[in-house]
A and B are shown apart, each in its own frame.
Chain A
């Protein structure tokens, strides 16, 4: 059982508690959905599970060990707005190679066009950018992928394409996949298990 959150409580500063004594276990090869009304703390949970935020109480462990503070994080988070997740001053080839060097097969699988690599982020659409972010997060060291509203901004066709490739890879590599979305039918279609917050 790779990813385990035990008794997590979290709040921002002195704001009210967003998470209280929350526990969750996601196994390898599992696709788990998280849904809930807006503002209930889904994104916050995603940030805690991937080590972007420290919970005030409780622990997050991967294979029994706490998440590494340095080096590559095997729990990768993909966010809703890809344009914020790439350096606007870098051409895309630098961005996509930041964590690892994906092979041509990987790029082809996500339909990343060769001539996009030489472009600046503002010369690509959100859907095109998001594919870069997904590929960037899928190095061989990744064992859990958390997608927080990953395709909310994209149209149905692109959404379907990206999810198809991501689930294929997750299956092949036996990754744990956590899908956060407010689209009930997307979660129903993809996930074996759904957690209501």
Chain B
């Protein structure tokens, strides 16, 4: 920040940007996004606990109602409150997405480090796997895996986790290799630091931040894929209130003019996914040491 302010020359694009968001450094903007995302997350999770299940019970007296003060997102063909369904659906998707992203990121960290440190054979094997998984469309593999482990939440988590580790693993592998040959790491060894010290002080802090960024960026993918295969009928079972199920059911009623059935759940899903995407990308830029202190 200090150095940016003292820079005499600024590009036109820079200034325009600065005027729109006065005095907001990237750090601050990221913090704001982080706060908003956390708030969104918390309200969805607490909302799903607070909202009573009565909104989910069938009530034909109020079926097919457009959005109103009583039913913010309207009601469906069984008279269920769409707001309650959406919040509970999002909450479930969040949980499944979180689990899938976490499993995937841990897998990526493990395989990435193995590839970079355990010699040529392991490296070749991991690289081959990475290319294999990157080459085939995710959805196809997820459906195959989810189908073969018998669907349900477990199937979705395994399917998403197994398909999403390669890009992060590749980043981590490259990162470890580059760090190992970095001059400051070699200097550290010659200053008498042990391998362990170098690993914990130079390598790990770097990887941990990569790991979390990877995790946050994986998260929206995981949610979207969960919703996607549930929508297609290969994921969560139709009686779970997942957002993908809600959307696929809504599709059947779209032609009847009941737009709110798909609109609100869809937009909520998009907002949540975008929020995490923006957060992840902001943190990524923030962690780039050359841009971090702008």
Contact = CB atoms under 8 A, between A and B. Distances in A.
Interface of A: 50-52, 70-73, 76-77, 79, 81, 84-89, 98-100, 120-123, 136
A87 B200 CA distance: 13
Contacts of A72: 190-192
B184 A73 contact: no
B290 A122 contact: yes
Nearest to A99: B191
Interface string B76-96: 000000000000000000000
B188 interface: yes
A79 B182 CA distance: 13
B289 A84 contact: no
B188 A84 contact: no
Interface in B185-201: 186-188, 190-194
A84 B293 contact: no
B183 A85 contact: yes
30 contacts: A50-B190, A52-B190, A70-B194, A72-B190, A72-B192, A73-B190, A73-B191, A76-B190, A77-B190, A81-B183, A84-B182, A84-B184, A85-B183, A85-B184, A85-B187, A87-B184, A88-B290, A89-B206, A98-B188, A98-B193, A99-B191, A99-B193, A100-B191, A120-B292, A121-B289, A122-B3, A122-B289, A123-B2, A136-B187, A136-B191
B192 A71 contact: yes
Contact of B192 (A50, A73, A84): A73
B202 interface: yes
A88 B290 CA distance: 8
Contacts of A81: 183
Range for the number of chain B residues in contact with chain A: 20 to 34
| Majority-rule SS of A interface residues | loop
B205 interface: yes
| Majority-rule SS of B interface residues | helix
Contacts of B292: 120
Contacts of A73: 190-192
A68 to B, nearest CB: 9
Interface in B216-272: none
Contacts of A88: 289-290
A188 B282 CA distance: 52
A66 to B, nearest CB: 15
A147 B165 CA distance: 44
A88 B205 CA distance: 12
A136 to B, nearest CB: 7
Given A123-B2, A123-B3, A99 B183 contact: no
Contacts of B192: 70-73, 99
A52 B188 CA distance: 11
A89 B186 CA distance: 16
Contacts of A99: 191-193
A59 B9 CA distance: 53
B184 A122 contact: no
B183 to A, nearest CB: 4
Contacts of A51: 190
A77 B192 CA distance: 13
A89 B194 contact: no
Interface in B279-294: 289-290, 292-293
Closest 8 CB pairs of A and B: A99-B191, A72-B192, A88-B289, A73-B190, A84-B183, A71-B192, A85-B183, A87-B184
